[in-house]
């Protein structure tokens, strides 16, 4: 059996996008993905010509793809600036390697890299927290602390935007996860762009939110990026794993399922925004970060750890 040919140039195809019924050679695939990210950025008005973007770079395929794509885009906007922020959660044998990969990638691209650690910011590490039986998974703590660490570093740098590398799969998994946790507020907060109309909190953007995970992997692979492929030893969220498997099965049987879920969620967010606008967020009484409550999640968690 011969391989399919590229729909756009007739070269040998390396990938078929089932949800669109088109095949790509390596070159056309990379071009199509870059164009798609460009369109996402424009559609959601994610970037301005003079932004200083703080990009969260972990050393994984998603963040290295994002960093490379934003650098490509930046060449058209001489007044913009990009700084990488890497977070050291304190996960022995895992994060050390990823940080080194991130460091080398930033060096190669000529991007300044700032590293912040949970140890310095919160006085603890994910390895330590995982042994404390705190009633939540290490990922729960880790995710909340990472958001806070990136926010702190971005503010310190004087950045105007924070870019994170969440892909389509991350996004729709999180939607279902939050629905199953009964938390509509979080469904709203995980939108592709989260901006505070009062300008008190830094705008967060997710330029890869419309790219399926397997396409990010393929892009990183075809681009020859060196990225960390080892999984985190604490990353075993049972519910998220079930949701991931369910969504992958649905996508396989019904191509386009993930996009449909994302679009439906976008519509729901618009409705939710009318009843609970982001502008109504409070400042955490302890640290000043945005929160719908009196204390932000990170401060609540830090209180629980200290008690």
Strands 161-163 and 52-56: parallel
Does the protein bind ligand SF4 through residue 87 (CB under 6 A)?
A: no
In whole angstroms, the minimum distance from the beta carbon of 87 to ligand SF4 comes to 9
Looking at beta carbons only, is 90 or 212 nearer to ligand SF4?
A: 90
* Binder among 14, 15, 23, 28 for Zn ion (CB under 5 A): 28
Q: Which listed range, 38-46, 123-131, 233-241, 284-292, lies at the site for Zn ion (CB under 5 A)?
A: 284-292
Looking at beta carbons only, is 44 or 234 nearer to ligand SF4?
A: 234
Looking at beta carbons only, is 189 or 258 nearer to Zn ion?
A: 189
How many Å apart are CA 277 and CA 274, to the nearest integer? 6
> Which one of ligand SF4, Zn ion, none interacts with residue 192, CB within 5 to 8 A by kind?
none
Both structure tokens of 181: 């946790």
In whole angstroms, the minimum distance from the beta carbon of 168 to ligand SF4 comes to 18
In whole angstroms, the minimum distance from the beta carbon of 123 to Zn ion comes to 15
CB 160 within 8 A of CB 249: no
Sign, Cα dihedral of 235, 129, 144, 227: negative
In whole angstroms, the minimum distance from the beta carbon of 297 to Zn ion comes to 8
Both structure tokens of 272: 């939710």
Both structure tokens of 168: 């389509």
Report the residue count for the chain.
307
How buried is 47 (Cβ within 10 angstroms: 0-12 exposed, 13-18 middle, 19+ buried)? buried
Which residues from 116-155 bind ligand SF4, rule CB under 6 A? 126, 138-139, 142-143
Which residue, 264, 273, 266, 200, is CA-closest to 44?
Answer: 266
> Which one of Zn ion, ligand SF4, none interacts with residue 8, CB within 5 to 8 A by kind?
Zn ion
Which residue, 124, 106, 93, is CA-closest to 58?
Answer: 106
How buried is 209 (Cβ within 10 angstroms: 0-12 exposed, 13-18 middle, 19+ buried)? buried
* Binder among 286, 290, 292, 305 for Zn ion (CB under 5 A): 286
Count of positions on this chain that bind ligand SF4 (CB under 6 A): 9
Bridge partner list, 88: 117
> Which one of ligand SF4, Zn ion, none interacts with residue 147, CB within 5 to 8 A by kind?
none
Looking at beta carbons only, is 37 or 296 nearer to Zn ion?
A: 296
CB 22 within 8 A of CB 7: yes
Can you give the binding site for ligand SF4, defined by CB under 6 A?
89, 126, 138-139, 142-143, 232, 234-235
Binding site for Zn ion (CB under 5 A): 6, 8-9, 11, 25, 28, 284, 286-287, 289, 296, 299
């Amino acid at each position: 059996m011969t391989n399919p040919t590229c729909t756009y140039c007739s070269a040998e195809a390396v990938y078929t996008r089932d949800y669109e019924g088109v095949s790509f050679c390596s070159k056309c695939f990379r071009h199509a993905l870059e164009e798609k990210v460009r369109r996402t950025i424009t559609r959601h008005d994610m970037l301005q010509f003079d932004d200083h973007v703080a990009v969260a770079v972990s050393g994984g395929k998603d963040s290295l793809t994002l960093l490379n794509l934003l650098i490509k885009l930046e060449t058209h906007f001489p007044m913009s600036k990009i700084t990488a922020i890497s977070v050291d959660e304190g996960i022995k044998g895992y994060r050390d390697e990823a940080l080194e990969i991130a460091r080398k990638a930033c060096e190669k691209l000529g991007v300044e890299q700032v590293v912040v650690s949970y140890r310095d910011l919160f006085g603890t590490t994910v390895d330590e927290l995982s042994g404390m039986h705190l009633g939540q998974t290490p990922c729960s703590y880790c995710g909340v602390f990472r958001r806070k660490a990136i926010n702190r570093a971005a503010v310190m740098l004087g950045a105007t935007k924070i870019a994170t590398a969440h892909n389509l799969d991350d996004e729709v998994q999180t939607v279902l996860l939050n629905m199953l946790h009964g938390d509509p507020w979080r469904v709203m907060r995980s939108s592709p762009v989260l901006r505070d109309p009062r300008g008190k909190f830094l705008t967060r953007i997710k330029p890869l939110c419309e790219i399926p995970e397997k396409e990010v992997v393929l892009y990183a692979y075809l681009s020859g990026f060196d990225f960390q492929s080892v999984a985190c030893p604490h990353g075993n969220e049972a519910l998220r794993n079930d949701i991931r498997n369910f969504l992958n099965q649905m996508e396989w049987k019904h191509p386009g399922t993930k996009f449909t879920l994302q679009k439906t969620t976008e519509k729901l967010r618009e409705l939710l925004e009318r009843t609970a606008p982001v502008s109504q967020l409070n400042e955490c009484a302890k640290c000043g970060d945005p929160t719908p409550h009196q204390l932000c999640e990170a401060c609540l968690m830090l209180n629980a750890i200290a008690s």
